Amino acid sequence: MSRLILFNKPYGVLSQFTPEGRWQGLRDYLALPGVYAAGRLDADSEGLLILTDDGALQSRIADPRHKLPKTYWVQVEGAPTDADLDPLRRGVDLGDFVTRPARARLIDEPAGLWPRNPPIRFRQAIPTSWIELTISEGKNRQVRRMTAKIGFPTLRLIRAAVGEWRLDALQPGEWKESHV
pLDDT exceeds 80 at position 122: no
Distance of CA 12 to the CA centre of its chain: 13
Task: Give the per-residue pLDDT at 179.
Answer: 76
* pLDDT at 121 > cutoff 90: no
- The pLDDT assigned to 1 comes to 80
Q: What pLDDT, on the 0 to 100 scale, is given for residue 100? A: 93
pLDDT in tens, 15-40: 999 999 999 999 999 988 899 999 88
Band of residue 145 on the pLDDT scale cut at 50, 70, 90? very high
Q: What's the 3-state SS for 52-112? A: ECCHHHHHHHHCHHHCCCEEEEEEEECCCCCHHHHHHHHCCECCCCECCCCEEEEECCCCC
pLDDT score of 65 more than 80: no
pLDDT of residue 176: 95
The model's pTM: 0.94
Q: Which domains does the chain have, with CATH numbers?
A: 4-64+164-178 (3.30.70.580), 69-162 (3.30.70.1560)
- Overall residue count recorded for the chain in this entry: 180
pLDDT digits (tens, 9 = 90+) for 68-119: 899 999 999 999 999 999 999 999 999 999 999 999 999 999 998 999 888 8
List the catalytic residues.
42
Distances (CA, A) of 159 to 21, 65, 123: 24, 19, 24
Residues 75, 47 contacting (CB under 8 angstroms): no
Distant-in-sequence contacts of 81-89, Cβ < 8 A, 24+ apart? 81/106, 82/106, 84/150, 84/151, 84/152, 85/131, 85/150, 87/149, 87/150, 88/133, 88/146, 88/147, 88/150
Q: Would the CA dihedral through 22, 146, 92, 168 be positive or negative?
A: positive
